[in-house]
Amino acid sequence: MEPVLVLLIIFGSIASIFIAPRYFKSQERQKMADTLRVAIEKGQPLPTEVIEAMSSNVRSPGMAPSPQRDLRTGIIWLGVGVGIAALGFALSFEEPDTLYPLLGFAAFPIFIGLAFILLSFLNKPKS
């Protein structure tokens, strides 16, 4: 029972790292939309700061996929995978049975990183 609980805590905390910021950003956008709706219903003019704040959340062209961004993302994923593999090697000195499971787990981010690096070479920038 304890190993299952440990796995649930690990994967639950990883999921919460990605889910919590999106949830709070969604709540913030909802509050902003409600405030704007009330202001428009009362006939209040919208200040330019509010309009700029609303448009700043829109993705800029720099956020679009590009070969350089793919290469950076691939190198980060590759580093994560190599780090997990190194952890497996380090832990295997104390517990030899930990090496192969951690190497198998490290294969996922390594292959994701290699795929991003390959994409960076295949996707040429549009001119």
The residue ranges of every structural domain in the chain are: 1-58, 61-127
Over residues 54-69, the mean pLDDT reads: 68
Q: Is the pLDDT of residue 61 over 60?
A: no
User: Average pLDDT of 24-40?
Assistant: 86
pLDDT the model gives residue 72 = 92
Is 116 within 8 Å of 77 (Cβ atoms)? yes
Residue 77: Cβ-neighbour burial (10 angstroms; 0-12, 13-18, 19+):
buried
Q: Are 88 and 106 in contact (CB under 8 A)?
A: yes
pLDDT at site 7: 83
d(Cα 29, Cα 5) in Å, to the nearest integer?
35
What percentage of the chain carries pLDDT values higher than 90? 38
Number of Cβ within 10 Å of residue 16's Cβ equals 11
Share of the chain above pLDDT 70, in %: 89
